[in-house]
Structures are given as C-alpha cells and as structure tokens.
Amino acid sequence: MAALHRLLVIVIGYALAVITATIGMTGADIAEEISSRAISWRGVSAILSTYGTLIATYAFLPAAIAVAIAEWCAIRSLAAYLLAGAAAGVVSTGIFGRFWPAVLNPLGIPPQGFSGLLPIVFAGIAAAFVYWLVAGREAGKGR
C-alpha cells in the first residue's frame, strides 16, 4: 500500500512539474501578448495544452530515469534534483540531435542554439524544484 501511495505522489509531482515548466516556457510569451493587445483565451489554452503535451512527452524519459535513480538511492538533496532538472531540459530539447539525429531527435526538430536553450534549462530547474517539493523530499520511502 505504501508503494502505491508513493507512486501516486510521484505521478502528481511529475504532473505539477510539467505544469510549472509549461508556464515557465510560455509565461513570458503570454504576458507579452496580454500587454500588446486583446488576448484570445482559446489561443492561450491551445498554447498551454500543446506546450504541456510536448514538455510531458519529451521530458518523460530523462525525468523517469532521474526519478528512478533518486528513488532507488533515496536521494533527497535539492541540488541533485535541480541538476537533474537542468539535464532533463537539455536532453529533452534535442540539442544533441545534430550529433545523433535518429536517436535523440526522431522528429527532425532543429537543435536549439544557446539562447534558445537557456529558457528550457531554467524551466527544467523550476520543474525539478516543484517536483522536489511534492515528491523528492521523501524519495526512497516506498522501498
């Protein structure tokens, strides 16, 4: 029963982390849109749902690996989670696609430049912080 509860906490933590990363990635664009003209809330919801789906999909594997390692080793350090969030942001963008396009970038999305990578890394760090608040501080308790 404790393992099922832990799994539920992990899933909720990941969902909240994805929401945080989505708002982090799109928040500046939406704020600029609001300040420049009347905003279409349908457009905002479409942007948020699209970005949220993409972030949840591309970040799933790196995040799942990081969570599995943290749970197995009972890592509860905030610094470890922030580092894993930054790494998940880098890996999930396809920045390595120019080296291994078939493996890490199957959709052919062009790799991000450094200026495009920074917001993604910071969104990964923010998402990792939220995940740590929800599930990371209790890592390894389900074993």
Per residue in 5-41, pLDDT (tens digit) is 888 999 999 999 999 998 888 876 677 666 666 777 7
**Amino acid symbol at 12:** I
**Position 112 in a domain:** yes
Average pLDDT over residues 111-140: 82
Please give the structure tokens belonging to residue 11: 């899933």
Q: Supply the DSSP string of 33-99, one letter for each residue.
A: HHHHS---HHHHHHHHHHHHHHHHHHHHHHHHHHHHHHHHHT---HHHHHHHHHHHHHHHTTGGGGT
Rounded to two decimals, what is the model's pTM?
Answer: 0.78
R_g of the chain, CA atoms, integer Å: 16
Q: Into how many domains does the chain fold? A: 1
**Position 56 in a domain:** yes
pLDDT-derived band at 64 (thresholds 50, 70, 90) equals very high
pLDDT-derived band at 83 (thresholds 50, 70, 90) equals very high
**Position 85 in a domain:** yes
**Position 12 in a domain:** yes
Domain containing residue 31? 2-138
